[in-house]
Amino acid sequence: MSTFQRTTSSYRAGARTLPREYYTSPAILADERERIVATGWNCAGRASAVAQPGEFLVREIAGESILIVRDSAGTLHAFFNVCRHRGTRICREAAGRFGETIQCSYHAWTYGTDGRLIGAPHMQDVPGFDKAEYPLHQAALAEWEGFLFVSGANDLTEGPVLGGYMEIKPPNQSATMSGRACGHLVSDQLPGEDRTRAFYYTILPNLLLSMHPDYVNYYLVTPVDVDRTRVESEWLFHPGTLADPANNIRDAVDFWDLTNRQDWDIVEQSQLGIGSRRYQPGPYSARESMPAAWDREYLRRMGRS
Amino acid sequence: MSTFQRTTSSYRAGARTLPREYYTSPAILADERERIVATGWNCAGRASAVAQPGEFLVREIAGESILIVRDSAGTLHAFFNVCRHRGTRICREAAGRFGETIQCSYHAWTYGTDGRLIGAPHMQDVPGFDKAEYPLHQAALAEWEGFLFVSGANDLTEGPVLGGYMEIKPPNQSATMSGRACGHLVSDQLPGEDRTRAFYYTILPNLLLSMHPDYVNYYLVTPVDVDRTRVESEWLFHPGTLADPANNIRDAVDFWDLTNRQDWDIVEQSQLGIGSRRYQPGPYSARESMPAAWDREYLRRMGRS
Amino acid sequence: MSTFQRTTSSYRAGARTLPREYYTSPAILADERERIVATGWNCAGRASAVAQPGEFLVREIAGESILIVRDSAGTLHAFFNVCRHRGTRICREAAGRFGETIQCSYHAWTYGTDGRLIGAPHMQDVPGFDKAEYPLHQAALAEWEGFLFVSGANDLTEGPVLGGYMEIKPPNQSATMSGRACGHLVSDQLPGEDRTRAFYYTILPNLLLSMHPDYVNYYLVTPVDVDRTRVESEWLFHPGTLADPANNIRDAVDFWDLTNRQDWDIVEQSQLGIGSRRYQPGPYSARESMPAAWDREYLRRMGRS
């Protein structure tokens, strides 16, 4: 791929890749999950997916099934998908729309879309039982530029955002297979110099933003095991791009499908090689200032810097 | 299913479901296997399956392969399925019939059906070797109402039997798809009031008895992993029920096949939900006195009550 | 199989099979891998497979991917298959032929077939970076009778070679299905008495040699898990045997295919039986002097004798 010309970015001389155990140790993976994923602000997708009252989506975050639902009054909530009676997982679907209530199928405990317990058959006979004490457990929820973020923490921290841009090399107009733009500019307010730039940001712990003059795509990244990561991608376009059949959004999607598969292939080989007893942290070049910066932030969050 | 009307049973106010680790911890599963399964009286099926001399069956109990065989003199034995020479598993079949002897296929060590070592090729040259010191290892075996029970312990303890009955609601006669009896009463001596009752008993650690006016079925329950259990079921009928083609035993079998699949589905959802960090033990209603009693007995056996 | 007549071999009275944990413990398996496999001389196949400059083969040894390559000057090397930059596994093929160089596909670091780093794009800008400090990591390599051996250790130790011979019983000429020789003698210099003998040697940690008048076959044995071992076999014949279509090498191959499958089947049953809590080390007969000697050498290497 020769669509881009790199811009200079800050580089700390002597930066090296991480020691082997950061790639292979189940204990460090568990530590990561607790220190970075469970307490961070995890992107859970787009708010537009739960635009109507009762609409919900379910996301797995740090091993938890989280139910995101818009209640009857229009407020968004994030709940742990766990019934307060026997602990049963309540909602089995990945997305959908509730009526007025959410009901567990085991013993029919029933909750409002705002999480309050409103029905609990036979529990009226239990001395001292009070429905008000058994709402669905809440997770913290925040919205930013149409993205939903979920966390066990209480405040939306201003964590570092890692990233930068690359100049799109003429005569290319965008990162597409043909090099041509695949549709409208994403915004008419886009400053002139940004119309030939591609911006890439990591918003820790799980969102990668890839923004181009004519499209945005993003990735949700979930650690699965020491040697396995789930990556989900979605695409955003200007409404005018989608309305006009003369535009060819596959031109952009195919470009990244090819690029990503090449990248995933080589990082799989890295994972295999780093497992060797003889692997030693290697030197980063100045072109690798971004992974080096990512390593520093990662170690800081892990309490090991 | 609305075949039943519940009867009152004892209930301790304030009972709650078990903490999360009892559903998720491999260490507790291992502890269970040692404290409850390996030392308990495990049902190994029906004695009628090994009615003739030489007939055997093999069951896995607490991770051990146990060989149950009726010897030439008519006595039943339970042996560890392990050759005393090289430790080889001797019998590979789940059931069958031996001749006069049981032979290991590795180096042809040969045992009587009573477990005595009677042949050991080339061992006569080993100084001090005495066949009498190498019989098959015995496991304890007991028979009750035609059921076989096996244990590493020596005495048949009188462990609590948990259970009770439910009234069958008229006009239903039994727990079948049609509500009609599927054959003869299981015994002509069944007292009048028991002819409209369904009895359910747990005989710890691994036998569930489900007894109805016209049939008995039972379940053997084997823990496999923290989130997996093997359940095997068999059915018992009055001989007259099976002899008369007008009877329809599928009417009963289908009823429980449907009911069990519904129950298994919902307990799988409970297992998933209880894995959440936010799961907390929930309150049992008076209708849930049986699982609450089961939890108490379980904790007592685990030495944690 | 009654092709053989056993010869007498040394036997220590009272020898018993190993305790259970040597067959079942992941910790002991890991210890084995470190003490015996990783530090031992592991057979990696035949030197004839890498006869030409640039030819290579890749073997997994003690969990490491090892790249064996003949350099442009004709010298054989064994390298850890790990790029010195980002730790990426360099070579994905099991065997093949390089040109003048070996290139990592991640950032194009390039090595000579002798392991020297000769190209590292963009690294010239990193202060103090010196290509001479980043050759491929070497593993020790030795050749014996056409076999290649690889080790993390520096010297070719004279470890015990366990084995012996069996007399081939007349009228059999060899260990084949028909009992007839399947081709030429492997060497015209074979002494007369060896022309009716089959030699079996274990060269620890991973080579089994099986040598007959008319053929040699060998086995590479790799521990995979406490209950799984990978066994690979190859065959060697006199060139004249392969040249003459009247010879039937399947006659020998089929004999060992059948014999090995029978042996593997029974050792699988042993593995299952030895997992029992009731397994106790059993007595070896004088005919089992070889496994008893193997156990002694194994315990010595494990530091437990």
Residue B257 CB contacts under 8 Å (≥ 6 apart), including other chains:
none
d(CA C194, CA C43): 25
Q: What is the pLDDT of residue C303?
A: 84
Instruction: State pLDDT tens for residues C112-137.
Output: 999 999 999 988 888 888 999 999 99
C130 in the same domain as C14 = no
Instruction: State pLDDT tens for residues B226-246.
Output: 888 899 999 999 999 999 999
Q: What is the pLDDT of residue B1?
A: 43
Count Cβ neighbours within 10 Å for each residue of C210-237 and write b for 16 or more, e otherwise.
Answer: bbbbbbbbbbbbbbeebeeeeeeeeeeb
d(CA B181, CA B195): 11
Q: What is the pLDDT of residue B4?
A: 62
C180 in the same domain as C282 = yes
Range A8-28 average pLDDT: 77
Chain B residues with CB-CB distance to C20 below 8 A: 87
Taking the Cβ of residue A26 and every Cβ of chain B, the question of whether any pair is shorter than 8 Å is answered with: no
Over 90: is that where the pLDDT of B180 sits?
A: yes
Chain C residues with CB-CB distance to A275 below 8 A: 63
Task: Indicate yes or no: pTM above 0.90.
Answer: no
d(CA B210, CA B219): 8
Residue A265 belongs to domain with CATH number: 3.90.380.10
Q: What is the pLDDT of residue A6?
A: 53
On average, the pLDDT of chain C sits at 87
A231 has which bridge partners?
A221
Residue B36 CB contacts under 8 Å (≥ 6 apart), including other chains:
B204, B205, B298, B301, B302
Query: Residue C250: which H helix or E strand, with range?
Result: helix C250-274
CB atoms within 10 A of CB C162: 18
Report the alpha-carbon angle B274-B267-B272, nearest 5.
Answer: 35
Beta-carbon separation of A273 and C82 below 8 A: yes
Higher pLDDT, C27 or A278: C27
**What distance lies between CA A210 and its chain's CA centroid?**
12
Beta-carbon separation of C278 and B80 below 8 A: yes
Beta-carbon separation of B286 and A90 below 8 A: no
Over 60: is that where the pLDDT of A188 sits?
A: yes
The answer to whether B184 and B214 have CB atoms below 8 angstroms apart is yes
Can you list the positions of beta strands (E) in chain C? 4-5, 42-46, 55-61, 64-70, 76-80, 95-97, 101-103, 110-112, 117-119, 138-144, 147-151, 161-168, 197-203, 207-211, 216-225, 228-236
> pLDDT band at A153, cuts 50/70/90?
low
C244-283 residues touching B, CB cutoff 8 A: 266, 269-270, 272-280, 282-283
A174 in the same domain as A297 = yes
Q: What is the pLDDT of residue C1?
A: 43
Torsion of CA B221, B223, B229, B235, to 10 degrees: -10
- Interface chains of chain C (3 or more CB pairs under 8 Å): A, B
User: Given B99, B124, B151, which residue is the final one in a domain?
Assistant: B151
d(CA C105, CA A130): 64
Q: What is the pLDDT of residue B156?
A: 46
> pLDDT band at C215, cuts 50/70/90?
very high
Question: Letter for the amino acid at A48?
Answer: S
Of B30-34, B60-64, C13-17, C95-99, give the range with the top mean pLDDT. Answer: C95-99
Chain A residues with CB-CB distance to C127 below 8 A: 13-14
Mutate to test the interface with A, among B269, B272, B289 (most CBs of A within 10 A): B269
C211 has which bridge partners?
C199, C216
Instruction: State pLDDT tens for residues B115-155.
Output: 999 999 988 888 888 999 999 999 989 898 888 989 876 44
Closest CA to A182 of A190, A172, A170, A194: A172
Q: Which DSSP symbol is given to C36?
A: I
CB atoms within 10 A of CB C187: 10
B203 has which bridge partners?
B161, B207
Of A63, A84, A126, the CB nearest to B286: A126
C184 in the same domain as C143 = no
SS (H, E, C) B227-280: CEEEEEEEEECCHHHHHCCCCCCHHHHHHHHHHHHHHHHHHHHHHHHHCCCCCC
Residue B72 belongs to domain with CATH number: 2.102.10.10
d(CA C138, CA A23): 23
Which residue from A minimizes the CA distance to C91? A269
Q: What is the pLDDT of residue B124?
A: 87
Range B104-124 average pLDDT: 93
Instruction: State pLDDT tens for residues B1-24.
Output: 456 665 545 566 677 888 888 888
Beta-carbon separation of A81 and B279 below 8 A: no
CB atoms within 10 A of CB B210: 19
Q: What is the pLDDT of residue A8?
A: 45
**What distance lies between CA B66 and its chain's CA centroid?**
14
Range B257-277 average pLDDT: 89
Range of the domain at B249: 4-40+160-301
d(CA C106, CA C119): 13
Chain C residues with CB-CB distance to A280 below 8 A: 84, 87
**Counted domains in chain C:** 2
Taking the Cβ of residue A16 and every Cβ of chain C, the question of whether any pair is shorter than 8 Å is answered with: no
Instruction: State pLDDT tens for residues C34-86.
Output: 888 887 888 898 899 999 999 999 998 888 889 999 999 999 999 999 998 98
Instruction: State pLDDT tens for residues B241-261.
Output: 999 999 999 999 999 999 999
Q: How far is CA A26 from CA A223, A274, B144, in A?
A: 11, 15, 48
On average, the pLDDT of chain A sits at 87
Chain A residues with CB-CB distance to C106 below 8 A: 266, 269-270
Taking every pair of C-alpha atoms in chain C, what is the biggest distance, in angstroms?
Answer: 77
A68 in the same domain as A30 = no
Among the ranges given (A221-230, C17-26, C150-159, C291-300), the one the predictor scored with the smallest mean pLDDT = C150-159
Q: What is the pLDDT of residue C26?
A: 87
CB atoms within 10 A of CB B62: 22
Closest CA to B119 of B131, B129, B130: B131
Beta-carbon separation of A283 and C137 below 8 A: no
Q: How far is CA C262 from CA C206, C211, C216, C284, C301, in A?
A: 21, 20, 20, 20, 29
A296 in the same domain as A199 = yes
Q: What is the pLDDT of residue A295?
A: 86
Chain B residues with CB-CB distance to C274 below 8 A: 82, 86-88
A55 in the same domain as A128 = yes
Taking the Cβ of residue C81 and every Cβ of chain A, the question of whether any pair is shorter than 8 Å is answered with: yes
Beta-carbon separation of B285 and A84 below 8 A: no
Q: What is the pLDDT of residue B8?
A: 45
First to last CA, chain B: 35
The answer to whether C150 and C44 have CB atoms below 8 angstroms apart is yes
A212 in the same domain as A143 = no
A164 in the same domain as A19 = yes
Taking the Cβ of residue B6 and every Cβ of chain A, the question of whether any pair is shorter than 8 Å is answered with: no
Which residue from C minimizes the CA distance to B84? C282
User: Given B116, B151, B186, which residue is the final one in a domain?
Assistant: B151
What token pair was written down for B203? 């005989």
Q: How far is CA C174 from CA B92, C213, C290, in A?
A: 33, 7, 22
Q: How far is CA B137 from CA B87, B97, B114, B134, C150, in A?
A: 11, 20, 11, 8, 45
Closest CA to A151 of A50, A38, A67: A38
Count Cβ neighbours within 10 Å for each residue of A253-265 and write b for 16 or more, e otherwise.
Answer: bebbeeeeeeeee
Closest CA to A160 of A129, A203, A197: A203
d(CA B299, CA C176): 63
d(CA C234, CA C209): 10
The answer to whether A201 and A144 have CB atoms below 8 angstroms apart is no
Q: What is the pLDDT of residue B54?
A: 97
B260 in the same domain as B190 = yes
Instruction: State pLDDT tens for residues A31-54.
Output: 888 888 887 888 898 899 999 999
The answer to whether A78 and A66 have CB atoms below 8 angstroms apart is yes
Beta-carbon separation of C105 and A273 below 8 A: no
Of A13, A282, A287, the CB nearest to C84: A282
Task: Measure in Å the smallest separation between the Cα of A49 and chain C Cα atoms.
Answer: 38
Q: What is the pLDDT of residue C11?
A: 62
Q: Half-sphere exposure (CA, 13 Å, Cβ side) for C81?
A: 27
Q: What is the pLDDT of residue B216?
A: 94
Question: Considering just the CA atoms, what is the radius of gyration of chain C in Å?
Answer: 23
Q: What is the pLDDT of residue C156?
A: 46
> pLDDT band at A156, cuts 50/70/90?
very low
Q: What is the pLDDT of residue B302?
A: 85
Instruction: State pLDDT tens for residues A259-274.
Output: 999 999 988 998 888 8
Over 80: is that where the pLDDT of B157 sits?
A: no
Taking the Cβ of residue A90 and every Cβ of chain B, the question of whether any pair is shorter than 8 Å is answered with: yes
Over 90: is that where the pLDDT of A60 sits?
A: no
What token pair was written down for C178? 């028909």
B48 in the same domain as B31 = no
> Considering chain B, what percentage of its residues have pLDDT values greater than 90?
43
C34 in the same domain as C103 = no
Over 90: is that where the pLDDT of C243 sits?
A: yes
First to last CA, chain C: 35
Beta-carbon separation of C273 and B85 below 8 A: no
Taking the Cβ of residue A26 and every Cβ of chain C, the question of whether any pair is shorter than 8 Å is answered with: no
User: Given A151, A166, A194, which residue is the final one in a domain?
Assistant: A151
Q: What is the pLDDT of residue B120?
A: 92
